[in-house]
Amino acid sequence: MRWLPAALIAGILFVAGSAWAVNPPPADDGLQLLRDYLDALDTFSADFHQRITDRNLDLVEDVRGRVVLKKPGRFRWDYTDPYERVIAADGERVWLYEADLEQVTVRRLDAGLGETPAALLTGTADVLEHFEYRGSTVDGELQWLSLEPRAATSDFAMIELGFIARQLRRVSLTDRLGQQTRIDFDDVDTTSSVADTFFRFVPPAGADVIDENDL
């Protein structure tokens, strides 16, 4: 699913904090960093650079854009280079717009992503039912926090969050086939307010709209 990595990241950022506060795994410095970060986080805006490589480390995709997220369950990923794509959630629905196809696909937020970690965007699931915290490591200026999905059927084998100076700057997702998605964040803003209306996607004139809720 082309929109899964972006949605998954949003789910981790905006559901994990409250769930871990209720039922935390064994503490270490990295886990406390993550708790503190998530507790203080209401919005997140940044430029992003997303690269996907296959198991042989050959480049599959190299794209850039802007992401804005807001608790609870709202996000918008605007891909701008080298093509235009929008993935947006307004708290109820997820919209995928692919400009080259002039097509918009709509799914319910609670069901549209299926039985995957991205379903955590609903805010109804306890994160610890789906992920196991695997600890933290330090690589230069980056502190990596590792999460492993508990379900053997999950699309992803490992999720790693990279922090610099206690701020999220990189996410790495490794799927079951060895494909890796790495997203770097720049110009990060976690203090500005964002109106809910920003996340309401309006399909462009002439675009075909496929509502999978009706299929």
Helices 29-40/4-22 angle, 10° precision = 100
Per-residue confidence in pLDDT tens, the chain, 215 aa: 555 666 666 666 665 554 444 444 455 678 788 778 877 888 899 999 999 999 999 999 999 999 998 887 788 999 999 999 999 988 888 899 999 999 999 988 765 444 343 433 333 344 446 678 888 999 999 999 998 877 777 778 888 889 999 999 998 989 888 999 999 999 999 999 999 999 999 999 999 999 876 65
Q: Tens digit of pLDDT for each residue in 139-167?
A: 999 999 998 877 777 778 888 889 999 99
Q: Write down all domains in the chain, each with its CATH number in brackets.
A: 4-214 (2.50.20.10)
pLDDT of res. 30: 81
pTM of the model as a whole:
0.82
